[in-house]
Chain A
Amino acid sequence: MSAIITPEQRILGAEPPIAKKANRLQATKLNNQMVNAYWEDLFRAKEEGRLVCWTEGIQLNPILQAADIAWCHGEAAAALLAARKESAAPQAHMETLGYDRELCSYARTHIGCGVMNQSSTVEAQTLLNVDARTLGSRIPAPDMIISAYPFCSTGQQWDNELYRTFGKKVPIFNISMDWVWGNKSSAKYMSGPEFREKVAFLKKQLQDCVRFIEGITGKPYDWDRLSEIMKYTKRAAELRLEAMRLCKARPSPASFFEWTNSIAPVNFLPGGPEIVHYFEQKKAEIESRIAQGIGSVPVEKYRLWWDGIMNWNKIGWLSDKFAGYDACMVAGRYTHMGFWQEPQVIDLRDPLDGMAQNYITCPISISAPQVIEKIIEHCEYYEIDGLILHGARTCRAFSYPQYMIADAVGKRLGLPVAMFEGDMVDETFYKDEVVSSRVEAMLEAIDASRARMR
């Protein structure tokens, strides 16, 4: 039975019939357990006398973990609230204060948590209608803020706003991450003098950041521990990439949505044997699926690429929606081009340089010409039939190259695209009728092109 809805159904406003469910990996459950354990641990940090750092953007957690500092990664917090349908409260607080809803929704949600933390008295909670049990208000207030955001100035301004929200009383360390624009033709992906210079500048600032941390903890930094943590992070990242590459198989044993559900171990969970074990399990399950010919969707008629940041309110729903279209979202920019995407350059004897290289080549930190080349490589490798371009309305850093990506894959690979607006954690920007009609038009274009080839 085809899951494609008819125009009549759309006019009647009917929900698209979800005829098929995505075939979820068992290992993902382990991810959810680790994520829950991490948040519960963070919620207890203050009671246990641990310092808490708030940070956004790059994965600074290994640096903090080595100093026994608990951390809250802003995007992770916002995504968690969205996934648990609790992002509306902090977003509403921000709107009351005059923050425009066109502003980065991650920032609005996370700063909203800051506001909730500020107003944790019973009176304020009543006034602001804050439920003390909401996740947002359970996130412990920071003892320090470290700002290190690649490319996107909004990230830096978000940290600046947090600093001001907490009355400028929480020490902040600002790391500037230069964009490798490529003024000279010698500037290549991960090579050339411009790249090396930017990496060196970032590495120096990371070293200064460690001194800032030492100033707060009053203890010498444990570099050996950082190497140890990075050993696990590097191994987990390698396993993740290997497992992702296995999804070249037809049918693809796992989807982009599964990989979005596995971001936490390479984004903000503590580096340790657990994250390595997790990706071993995941990879083993993928290998077993390949051996048995089991796909991530019941019927794989189309192989797609998801470009853009994830829509966290809708992961499960979208994965079923695409399964309903017999489409497997095999890979995506967010998952496949970021999160310790180049683990091989991390030298465990001196991890900061390799860490800096990874930070500076995340998918929003490399410029559009390089993004396009990488996407084309991925599309060829995974034998992609079409691209979904999710223009996250309030994440311009992710959305801006999408017209150029659409143009390049169209011209060079002949692939059709479906572009639509949505958002990472503000549901109000997502319009399902638009998504359905654009996706269906794209699938029809794929069918037409296949018919021509026959």
Chain B
Amino acid sequence: MNTVLDKFAQAAQRPYEHVKAWKQERGVKAVGTLPMHFPAEIIHATGALPVIVQEMPDAITSGGGAMYPFFCGYTRSIVDQVTEDQLGFLDAIMFTDHCVQLLSAADVIRISRPETTIHFHQLIASLRQPWSLESSVKTLRELVADLEEVLGVVVTEEALRHSISVFNENRRLIRDLYQMRRTGQIQLRASQMQHIVKSSMVMDKETHNALLRELIASLKTSTAPRSDTVAIYVSGHLCHAPRPEILDLIEECGATIVDDDLYTGYRYVSTDVDAGIGDPIVALATAYIRKNDNVPCPTRIDPEVDWEEWLLGAVDRCGAQGLVVLLVKFCEPHYFAYPRIKAAFERNDVPHLMIETEHDGVAMENVRTKVESFVEMIKVQRAARAVAA
């Protein structure tokens, strides 16, 4: 088991080394994508390796002279990676998401390194318009045509269908792990789950699926009740992974993270593409629109779904006793959504704690103190309830 987890950890910790080695070994192209809604099945169907460009923990150096410091850590990091010539191994970068900071970073990348092929096919962010699906289908067809031209390949429907089934399997296997973790059948730390998801973002999916199957077969399941730690749900952290140290720290303070809606987490695997829809592009577009029902995204406009209400339900369903919101500094979509989450949790008397993370570092000792008192507070409440009962 450990060797499989180690493989995930290695790919997650050194994602670009992994991609470069894969390219060399297989002689394939690698296409970078930007988060959070890019349908990477399309790249997979071209035969190239889709790679979600990751935030790297390195300090911002030359990128600091290309982007103001009041942008989110993800966008500052990817600009820095480009100005530091770290992404040259990607044959192209493609993106579909509408976030002002992401668009800004992409524009900076294009100007800083004009030799980079970086293309944008804007997926409609407003999900409930009568034309949302039609517009998404059109965008994805244009994306396919563009990729065919950039990579000099032809994408067949058959290849798309195959890629969809490979990706669906990957999502399903990771969701199975989530489910086993939720019910306490397996004990994977949150940072280990992060390695699993993050490695899926940069590894060949078939290889990842094989490793996942191996992992699941080797995991010891237990029916014993969960230990006496406080069960916590972790939410937020859009576009990139929180530093694993933060997740470890939460779990060192007497809590167990039992579920999450993190982008480098459950959000990434929440929604399958319906293989029953005849036209694979329509299937991908439908999944894009439907995804918001499964895990609401604050970068999308959807009057019918409330993230805060959904979160209350999610916390309840997994038996968590509290919510920790990980909020990326300067992330405006999350800034807009957070006050409603806070109000809803206060209204419903469900404990919650917000931790703001920064690319340049988080004062871990402060976070520890906060989490410790949060966990303590939940324990006291729990004890009081037990007495009352």
Do A and B pair up? The answer is yes
CA distance A393 to B70 in the complex (A): 7
Closest chain-B Cβ to A150's Cβ sits at a distance in Å of: 11
In the complex, which residues of chain A have a beta carbon less than 8 angstroms from the beta carbon of B125? Answer: 153, 156, 176
In the complex, which residues of chain B have a beta carbon less than 8 angstroms from the beta carbon of A201? Answer: 135
Stretch at the interface among A6-14, A22-30, A157-165, A248-256: A157-165
Give a binary string over A393-437; 1 marks a CB under 8 Å from any B CB, 0 the rest. Answer: 110110111111000000000000000010000000000000000
Stretch at the interface among A94-102, A259-267, A270-278: A94-102
Residue of A nearest to B107 (CB): A368
In A352-408, which residues have CB < 8 Å from any B CB?
367-369, 372, 391, 393-394, 396-397, 399-404
Residue of A nearest to B95 (CB): A181
Give a binary string over A153-179; 1 marks a CB under 8 Å from any B CB, 0 the rest. Answer: 110111011011000100010101011
In the complex, which residues of chain B have a beta carbon less than 8 angstroms from the beta carbon of A421? Answer: 68, 70
Which of B122, B303, B342 has a CB less than 8 Å from the CB of A98?
A: B342
Is there a chain B Cβ closer than 8 Å to A183's Cβ?
Answer: yes
Q: Are B66 and A397 in contact (CB under 8 A)?
A: no
In the complex, which residues of chain A have a beta carbon less than 8 angstroms from the beta carbon of B135? Answer: 176, 201
Is there a chain B Cβ closer than 8 Å to A71's Cβ?
Answer: no
In B322-346, which residues have CB < 8 Å from any A CB?
329-330, 332-333, 335-336, 338-340, 342-343
Is there a chain A Cβ closer than 8 Å to B212's Cβ?
Answer: no
Which of B66, B70, B299 has a CB less than 8 Å from the CB of A153?
A: B299
In the complex, which residues of chain A have a beta carbon less than 8 angstroms from the beta carbon of B343? Answer: 97-98
Is there a chain B Cβ closer than 8 Å to A104's Cβ?
Answer: yes
In the complex, which residues of chain B have a beta carbon less than 8 angstroms from the beta carbon of A369? Answer: 110-111
In the complex, which residues of chain B have a beta carbon less than 8 angstroms from the beta carbon of A178? Answer: 122
Is there a chain B Cβ closer than 8 Å to A284's Cβ?
Answer: no
Closest chain-A Cβ to B344's Cβ sits at a distance in Å of: 12
In the complex, which residues of chain A have a beta carbon less than 8 angstroms from the beta carbon of B146? Answer: 183
Is there a chain B Cβ closer than 8 Å to A103's Cβ?
Answer: yes
Most A C-beta atoms less than 10 A away, residue of B106, B129, B335: B335
Q: Are B303 and A181 in contact (CB under 8 A)?
A: no
Q: Are B107 and A103 in contact (CB under 8 A)?
A: no
CA distance A164 to B332 in the complex (A): 16
Q: Are B111 and A98 in contact (CB under 8 A)?
A: no
In B106-127, which residues have CB < 8 Å from any A CB?
106-108, 110-112, 119-122, 124-126
In A91-135, which residues have CB < 8 Å from any B CB?
97-100, 102-104
CA distance A394 to B121 in the complex (A): 26
Closest chain-B Cβ to A350's Cβ sits at a distance in Å of: 21
Closest chain-B Cβ to A212's Cβ sits at a distance in Å of: 11
In the complex, which residues of chain A have a beta carbon less than 8 angstroms from the beta carbon of B107? Answer: 367-368, 400-401, 404
In the complex, which residues of chain A have a beta carbon less than 8 angstroms from the beta carbon of B99? Answer: 153
Q: How many pairs of residues, A versus B, come closer than 8 Å at their CB atoms?
A: 126
Decide yes or no: A403 and B100 within 8 Å by CB, A98-B338, A98-B342 being known contacts. no
Give a binary string over B75-100; 1 marks a CB under 8 Å from any A CB, 0 the rest. Answer: 00000000000000000000000111
CA distance A190 to B354 in the complex (A): 45
Is there a chain B Cβ closer than 8 Å to A152's Cβ?
Answer: yes
Closest chain-A Cβ to B121's Cβ sits at a distance in Å of: 8
In the complex, which residues of chain A have a beta carbon less than 8 angstroms from the beta carbon of B112? Answer: 404
Give a binary string over B52-88; 1 marks a CB under 8 Å from any A CB, 0 the rest. Answer: 0000000000000111101100000000000000000
CA distance A152 to B336 in the complex (A): 14
Q: Are B68 and A103 in contact (CB under 8 A)?
A: no
Residue of A nearest to B340 (CB): A164
Most A C-beta atoms less than 10 A away, residue of B108, B146, B332: B332
In A282-308, which residues have CB < 8 Å from any B CB?
none
Is there a chain B Cβ closer than 8 Å to A54's Cβ?
Answer: no
Decide yes or no: A168 and B71 within 8 Å by CB, A181-B120, A183-B146 being known contacts. no
In the complex, which residues of chain B have a beta carbon less than 8 angstroms from the beta carbon of A400? Answer: 67-68, 71, 101, 104-105, 107-108
Is there a chain B Cβ closer than 8 Å to A334's Cβ?
Answer: no
- CB pairs A–B below 8 angstroms (18 shown): A99-B335, A153-B98, A153-B333, A160-B301, A160-B303, A176-B124, A178-B122, A179-B103, A181-B119, A181-B122, A183-B119, A367-B107, A368-B107, A368-B110, A399-B70, A400-B101, A401-B107, A421-B68
